[in-house]
């Protein structure tokens, strides 16, 4: 079984536009680390922000038995991590969730060689490939930016 890591923000839930809007409304730079450390993530971790049926797609991936599925997500604060875990546990009782401090590369948290990462952020995908991993870009518009691309997570089943 192949290791499959799925990013959270921008892949499972559409959180980034909401974060940027909140930063704009607060009058802070979108890169302001302090803002994200104190932001109430529960306000955006809502079912209406699910991207392209991602929760059901993850369940289909698990049921395919082709992959050992984990969620690999950057966090800005411990509370953000707690909120994400609580949200995901509503749907998945037995899935590995790996919380990565924002200042650390995802490649430093797990063994990447031969493992697949589905992420929407090209920088993460480049780092993943540089460590011997297989990168798949999640893009609703199917813009791969040079990577394999999916716009629904369960498309990975037919790719590998």
Q: Sign of dihedral through CA atoms 65, 12, 96, 118?
A: positive
Residue range 110-117: mean pLDDT, rounded? 97
Query: Where do the structural domains in the chain lie, given as residue ranges?
Result: 2-159
Residue range 122-136: mean pLDDT, rounded? 98
Does the domain at 2-159 match CATH 3.40.50.1000? Answer given as yes
Cα–Cα distance between 157 and 66 in angstroms, integer?
Answer: 7
- pLDDT at position 39: 95
- The pair of three-digit structure tokens given for residue 88, joined into one six-digit string: 């995901």
φ and ψ at residue 108, rounded to 5 degrees? -90, -5
44-84 pLDDT, tens digit per residue, is 999 999 999 999 999 999 999 999 999 999 999 999 999 99
Q: Would you place residue 142 in the very low, low, confident or very high pLDDT band (cuts 50, 70, 90)? A: confident
Judged by DSSP in three states, 127 sits in: helix
- The pair of three-digit structure tokens given for residue 95, joined into one six-digit string: 């899935």
**pLDDT tops 90 at residue 143:** no
Question: Whole-model pTM?
Answer: 0.96
Cα–Cα distance between 30 and 106 in angstroms, integer?
Answer: 21
**Of 154, 159, 103, which Cα lies nearest the Cα of 135?**
159
């Amino acid at each position: 079984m192949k290791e499959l890591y799925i990013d959270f923000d921008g892949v499972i839930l559409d959180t980034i536009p909401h974060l940027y809007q909140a930063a704009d409304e607060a009058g802070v730079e979108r890169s302001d680390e302090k803002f994200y450390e104190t932001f109430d993530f529960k306000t955006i971790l809502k079912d209406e922000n699910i991207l392209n049926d991602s929760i059901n797609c993850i369940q289909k991936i698990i049921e395919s038995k082709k992959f050992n599925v984990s969620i690999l997500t950057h966090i800005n604060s411990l509370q953000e991590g707690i909120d994400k875990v609580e949200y995901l546990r509503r749907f998945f009782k037995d899935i590995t969730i790996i919380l990565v401090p924002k200042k650390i590369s995802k490649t430093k948290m797990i063994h990447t060689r031969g493992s697949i990462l589905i992420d929407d952020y090209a920088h993460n995908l480049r780092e993943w490939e540089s460590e011997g991993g297989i990168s798949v870009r999640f893009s609703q518009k199917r813009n791969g930016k040079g990577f394999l691309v999916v716009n629904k997570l369960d498309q990975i089943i037919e790719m590998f």
